[in-house]
A and B are shown apart, each in its own frame.
Chain A
Amino acid sequence: MEFSNIYREYSPKIYRICLGYINDPEKAKDLTQETFISVWQNRSSFRNEASIGTWIYRIASNKCLRFIQYEKRFPKTALPFSLPEETTNQPETEQKMLFLRNCIAELNEIDRLIIGMYLEEVPQEKIAHIIGISHANIRVKVHRIKEKLAEKFKAHGQF
């Protein structure tokens, strides 16, 4: 697969995962670009042992984790009691998306990465491989995160 095609296919997915992790569109954009610079730099190390997607997700998630070395751990966004007023003029989908991002921002770092990949439909087995823990552990984690998110959505009348 050519690098240009890889970029076109995976950059939106990586951007969303980074955005879920840091909840800041500008920084997510930077992290996405840094990920693809690393993909380009390490392209000779890719030997088809894993799928290219797994390989890219692994680089992206490590980039996200490395973020703590460059910046103080960014504060977890407090979940607003109601949706912020300035967003009331935004389309409903955008408001809901903002709410979802805020919900994810309340999770711990690893959970943010897991749910980001899960929402991108990365199979749980691959997520386990990327994070470096067992499949069973990932299954439990995904279940708990989904429950947490669903609860928050219900509590705010989003479900």
Chain B
Amino acid sequence: MKKLRILFTLMVTLCLSVLLTSCARTTSSENWDLAAKEIDIIKAQSPENCPATAEGRNDTVIIGTSECNGVFNPLYNETAFDMNVTSLVFDGMVEADYNAVPIPGMADFQISADGLTYSFTLKDGLKFSNGIPVTAEDVEFTIYALCDPNYDGPYDSASIGIAGYEDYVTGDADSISGIKVLDEKNIQFTLEKPNGQAIWFFGVGILSKNYYGKDFERGHLETIKAFNDQPMGSGQYKLVEYNLGESLILAAHDTYWKGTPKIKNIIFSVTPPGQEVERLMTGEVDIDFPAVNQDTVNAAVNAGFIDIYRYPTNGYSYVGMNLIDDKYQDQKVRQALIYGLNRQAVVESVFGPYANVINIPQSRVSWAYDEAGINPYNFNLEKAAALLTEAGWEKDGSGKLTKDGRNFKITFSTSEGNPFTDVMIPVMQEDYGKLGIDIEFEYLDFMALIGKVLAGEADMWFLAWDLAADPDDGSYKSDGAQNLFSYANPEVDLLWEQGVKELDRSKRKEIYSQVYRKLNQDIPCIWLYQRSDMWLVNCRIKDFKVSPYRNWTYDMWQMEIQ
């Protein structure tokens, strides 16, 4: 099965690249700025090329998606597909604007000066798609579900620190003292200590108590989960039909509080991997999300009727090291390993202009990003060798690096068929070999790789992280749940703590700048690259807006078909 899959991916890639390159006319890389902070947009040049199939759909948009399995519940959604659907069906009280700044959604909010009290006032005219108005009780119900002792979804309710949360979870109290419904439209939350990322917690999509909460009592989330495939919210669209693995159909919510969506129907349809551009070209879909490389960009540009929206992916790839191992404990060794890897060359050869090397774990478009005082660790083998010598590693007679009678030996684990590691591994092997490092590679199936890393059994590995709108990041805290590297630096821990308590954004930024400078010096892992995401949109769809922090689904109601 595994072999089949590799063979299959290989063949598809091969054949598609032949198909696509054969029709590529010009390259458009000069339009893309590698360091651009904004979203790069290439508008279609010849809209008249739009196929009749697409033109015929006057009130319907078809969106290509890679998967069609899901949990359409804002409390539990995980995958990109689920999030697209839930953000169309549900609205929350807080949204992110294009720059990751929290803005009012269904409610206006006020945070007290001490950062402890969050007051929300619901807007007028809010209605669930079944016609029942949204009230503060629905908000209360949703937040109680998130704070339930048996809640097992992605929200980390404990870290928010709502007053009385602990007592409620342990069963010492029957309600959470920090949640107060003032009247039908007003609700207030009290925190135990200030928390800079709490505001996002309150942005969760609001569930209708009347619909979801009929049988709910503490500890019985299964009564809510029972509706996972029959979502009902106050958002822009409502679910009409869901065909497992095939399609999902939404219709406009007529009483949507911002205004009835202009496009009546949305259909999500599964696109076979690697055929996103082809489906757009035949008019079978209007919007799709292909992998970004020169071939897909060229094909989309040449089609003439496809608008391109490209922006930096909110996430990054890295080479992880198991810092518990003696050999990685010296900061100089870790610096030597990052100096000794020609990241720039590998990233350029795999992604062309559509990715950039990173030196701190933050997106270059984030407000917290700060390059000041950051070492770029440009490829430098001499420096790497010198650092290793300083750390006490000497080459023996056969050219192998040794210290205290032990050879420098790395076992590198990666998943099969990854286009990036396929290029990186030979480069790494050669350059690390020159340094006298003995490096071995093992290929695992993706889930096996994750299993090995999470179990702490991997020595060095290649994986990626997602980033959130808020810069607080558990992967580099010594007690962080997702600290896969076993990285521990008390100074950094302290800064993270300060950062999350601070509410003033410019002060927070200063704290995170310090964190990044320290991390950049410490090298808890070898950061590699931030690549690009790209939405291709048939130019008959007007007012498509997207950013790494605000998905286009939030402004779907304004889009129009021309």
A, B: real partners: no
- Where the two chains meet, the residues of B that have a C-beta atom closer than 8 Å to any C-beta of A are none
- Where the two chains meet, the residues of A that have a C-beta atom closer than 8 Å to any C-beta of B are none
